[in-house]
Every structure is written in structure tokens, then in C-alpha cells.
Copies of this chain bind each other. A is one copy, B any other.
Amino acid sequence: MWSVTEHLADILGTVRPLEPIELQLLDAQGCVLVDDVTVPVSLPPFDNSSMDGYAVRAADVAGASEEFPAVLTVIGDVAAGRGGPLTVGPGQTARIMTGAPLPPGAEAVVPVEWTDGGLGGGAVSGMRAHSTAPEGASGQVRIHRAAQPRAYVRARGSDVRAGDRALEAGTVLRAPQIALLAAIGRGTVRVRPRPRVVVLSTGSELVQPGEPLGEGQVYDANSFALTAAAREAGALAYRVGAVDDDAETLRATIEDQLIRADLVVTTGGVSVGAYDVVKEALAHVGDEDEEGGGVDFRTLAMQPGKPQGFGSIGPDHTPLLALPGNPVSSYVSFELFARPAIRTLMGVRDIHRPSARAVLRADKALTSPDGRRQFLRGRYDAEAGEVTPVGGAGSHLVAALAHADALIVVPERTVSVEPGTEVDVVVLD
């Protein structure tokens, strides 16, 4: 008998983060940055206007008011990304748009709302479009307010400076980090790729959902559930589907799939029966005269999920997790062992689900077998700090699983948990 902790430690001791690759920025979403990223050019790259308005010399607008406006000559437009260089001399101004470089000579920006917009009337609420009123870029403008030097000017390098560390190695790239990388001009980035996870279920009784169910058959739920779960963990998951209980077929199928697998996850066929084909097929793989490590089958001190297999397979020693076949067993086993393995392959720092302490809300005590760490399905109320069991302990209760959002953990030496007691909870959402 192995403990959950020992088994997980053995898995994590074997699985290594994937080799990094250079990806286009949006392809790297959700991936982990491998190197520190340094800012190559300061942001903003030049002093620029934070408003639509007029670029002025402070002295020219000193003391200006609506009653006694400063009257300046408009020498042209400075719009982001267009037009040649303009220099603002004494008594002059340039119309300037948000984000446009502050022209030489100018020291500040006066928002358009504090001017007559060149129309000779009162304060305006905005500029007319240049395409329909090009005369706005010339003539005279009345400025209604004074401006301190640097007013409405965003200084070069006020966001980040060349040489600063923009992002640290190990950062997961989500939208705001992608924003920053794009802003500093990174078109591609070195990250660990999403792990490719091949999921297959085993069992001659398994029928593809949507097909008619024969005598003694059940639908294949595991290959769907674990493919979806692998994706939620961040992997690219390939569902192979159900394989018959035949050792040669299974072995050939797995070998075929290795070319697209960073991790293989199987379900079923790992227990003590006479048709436990995963055990049968993969027990050979570890022979000393064959390449590719081997697969260990163990009995774990846990419920559900007692029988487990783990090892590596094929010339690249691709890690393989052989999970039990009961739907709830396989799902819980995936959460406990496959998900941390996937997160490790990704290079994520925090590979575990969040956990919490919560007060058990139940009508009666929970019972748990002595010597086994039990994982019960529950609904967790973070605000109240409470967890309520959903369904029973049976490993076939997939309906209960679909209504749970947490696992209630009952330690090995605990055989009964009274309502009102604090328990450990793994939060699945």
C-alpha cells in the first residue's frame, strides 16, 4: 500500500517541464514564460499628449482665461502616426491628438474643451474631423486656461524604461501580460508549450455516447471527462476513445499515439481482475531489454482510486498514468495525479488546486475506511466556510460528481467525521 502523498511525489519526481519553444504572442496565451523579459525601448517611446487639444508654450498661455484668452496661431496638426515634424514657436500652437508626440518647442497641452477650437465662439466640446473641416489645422485659436509645463504630457519612459524587467520568468501569460509584451514590441515569446495529452479508456463494455446500448454495455464517459479535464488544466488533449480489453490492441494503440503525446492517460484495467488489460499490456513495457522505463502498478491507501499505474513508455520515456476505470475514481485520480503532472509539464509554479478548511454541513457523520484517504464530492460555500457532501461514497456516482465543486478530504486515520467538524477541501472550480 502506498499513500497518496508518496504516489504523487513519485510522479512529480519523474515528470519534467517541457522544452521551451518560441511562439507567436497569441499562441502563447496561458503558457509559462521561460526567460525574464526585458524592456527594449522605453514606454511611451516619446513624450506625448494625454488629451486631444493644443500643444503650447507655457509662457504664451500664462494668465489666460475665458474672458481674456490667449490667442495663438495654429501651425498644423500633430496626430498619432501621421504628418511631418512641426516646431512650435512663440505665439504658435499645434493641434495635437491623444498619443501624438509633443512637438519641439511646446511644453504642455491644453485640452480642446478649454479653447474655442478655432471657431471664434465659446468653449467647444471637441474638434471637427479633419477630413470634413481641414481648416481646423490653421488659423487662430483662443486658449481659455493657463498651463503648467508638462500638463497633459505623458513623459517618455513613464510606463516602463528600456532595461527594466517587464515580466519575470515563470509568469503565466494572460491578457494583461500579453498586452505588455505587445506594447514593448515582442511579436513572439519563449514559453513552455501546452502539453499534449492523449486520453484513452479501456473496456470491451464501453459504447460511444449516441450509439445504442447493448446488453451488459455502458457508455464511455471517462475518455470524454478526462479529455475535458486535461484541457481545463491547460493541455491540448486528444481523445482516442475506448479500446477493447485486448492487450495487443491496447499496446499497439498506445504506441501509435506516442508521436503526439507528452503524457498518456488511460482509464480502466488496472485492478486485480482477470481482464485488467492495461496492467497486462504495460507490465511488459518495463522489461530490461526494452527501451522506455516501465509502468508500476500499485495499491494506494485512498478511496476512490485504490488501483493506480504510473511509469513511462516508448523511446522518449513518455510519462503514462494508468487510472482506474470507475468514472468517479478516474476523475478523482485525474485531479490528484494527472492534473499536477500536466501543470508540471507546463512549468507552472503552483501545480495544485486551491484548498481550504471548511465546516462540514451534513445530517449525519461521514464514515471513511480506516487507513484510506477518502475523497468525497461536496459543494463548497466559500463565504460561509462550509462544505456539504453531494451523493455518497460510491465510485460510480457520476451524477453527484456533476453537481459537486469540491472534494472533501478525510485523512487516513479518520473513520468518522461529525457534522460541524472542520475538514480539508480541494476547491475544483
Report which A residues bind B (CB closer than 8 A): 25-26, 29, 41, 43-46, 50, 52, 77, 79-82, 95, 97-101, 112-113, 125-131, 133, 136-137, 154, 158-160, 164, 166-167, 174-188, 203-211, 213, 215-229, 231-232, 239, 245, 247, 271-276, 279-280, 325-327, 331, 394-402, 404, 428
Contact = CB atoms under 8 A, between A and B. Distances in A.
A225 B183 CA distance: 9
A227 B188 contact: no
Total identical chains: 2
Contacts of A219: 182-185
A326 B224 CA distance: 43
A184 to B, nearest CB: 7
B79 A245 contact: yes
Nearest to A429: B174
A272 B82 CA distance: 17
A187 B159 contact: no
Contacts of A130: 274-275
A224 B274 contact: no
A53 B82 CA distance: 81
Contacts of A176: 225, 331, 398, 401-402, 404, 428
A84 B34 CA distance: 57
Contacts of A203: 80-81, 99
Given A131-B280, A205-B80, A401 B179 contact: yes
A259 to B, nearest CB: 21
A185 B210 contact: yes
Contacts of A398: 43, 159, 176, 179-180, 183
Contacts of A158: 394, 396-397
Contacts of A396: 43-44, 50, 154, 158-159
Complex A-B, nearest 7 residue pairs according to Cβ-Cβ distance, in ascending order? A187-B210, A81-B205, A126-B272, A179-B225, A81-B204, A52-B273, A80-B205
Contacts of A154: 394, 396
A341 to B, nearest CB: 16
5 contacts: A43-B218, A166-B399, A175-B331, A176-B225, A185-B211
B80 A216 contact: yes
B209 A99 contact: no
A225 to B, nearest CB: 3
Nearest to A49: B273
Given A129-B280, A325-B99, A180 B221 contact: yes
B175 A29 contact: no
A178 B398 CA distance: 10
